[in-house]
Amino acid sequence: MPQVSTQEFERLPLRVHTFLAGVPLHDVWSVDLPRWRAGVTLDEFSRTANNCKLDACGCSKSSSLFTHSPLVRVLLDLRFFVGRFFGWDHEPAATAWKTFATRLTDTDRSRSLAAAGTRDGFFRVVYRFENEQLVELINRTAHAAALSALVETPTAYRFYLGVYVRSVSRFTPFYMALIDPFRKLIVYPSLLHGVHARWNQAFDKG
């Protein structure tokens, strides 16, 4: 489940490159998925996968392609416990920040398969296109966005996860440096392994 270069990611024909212009790209990850037929979209994958159930990884119907391993759930529980203690997870008043959804054009809104602001787990949807989804989260640690994209190659599919982080205070860089080892070594490899498992389940390639 490799971390990929910014150059590879930025060569992809994705709306996010211009949409989040000026917002720092923190890192990008990918996982290759077996090719079972041409023309599979991210939306089809999501709809198909969410009609399946993966008992082995505790997955049931949800709006997300990501599943949490027991270790990741423990880390998340610990993070939320610390966040509650320090008050990190309170969302600032709407007057103090601007959602990325304010950047949506009329064309973006007409293309999106979900309304901006729709809840998706811990996040809110900014847009959801056929092969590209952007969600965001803001609290006292950071204003973050996660981009999911599915790209078809001649021999396979590649799922990308891009993470954007905009500072909300001088604490943001320290916070990101603190959690980066857990993100890179445990959380994102686990999430992408779950995406691969859901793909195999959804398309009978397990």
Question: How do residues 128-157 score in pLDDT, each as one tens digit?
Answer: 999 999 999 999 899 999 999 999 998 899
Q: Please state which of the ranges 70-74, 115-119, 165-169, 196-200 shows the lowest mean pLDDT.
A: 70-74
CA 41 to chain CA mean position, Å: 16
Which residues, including other chains, have CB under 8 Å from residue 179's CB and lie 6 or more apart? 79
Amino acid at 160: Y
Question: How do residues 84-100 score in pLDDT, each as one tens digit?
Answer: 767 777 776 655 578 99
Q: Taking the alpha carbons of 141, 147, 148, 154 in that order, is the dihedral positive or negative?
A: negative
Query: What average pLDDT score do residues 171-191 get?
Result: 92
Q: Identify which has the larger pLDDT, 174 or 65.
A: 174
Q: Identify which has the larger pLDDT, 203 or 17.
A: 17
Task: Quickly state the pLDDT bin for 62 (edges 50, 70, 90).
Answer: very low
3-class DSSP assignment, residue 30: strand
Q: Where are the domains of the chain?
A: 3-202
CA terminus-to-terminus distance, the chain = 17
Per DSSP (E only), the strands in the chain are: 3-4, 25-34, 119-120, 123-128, 132-138, 143-152, 156-166
CB contact at 8 A, 52 and 58? no
d(CA 184, CA 142): 18
Tokens 């999430």 correspond to 191
Angle value at C-alpha 150, between 2 and 19, nearest 5 degrees: 95
Q: Please state which of the ranges 11-20, 128-137, 186-195 shows the lowest mean pLDDT.
A: 186-195
Amino acid at 191: L
**12 burial type by CB count under 10 A (0-12 exposed, 13-18 middle, 19+ buried):** middle
Give the global pTM: 0.87
d(CA 164, CA 91): 18
- Closest Cα partner for 148 from 62, 206, 65? 65
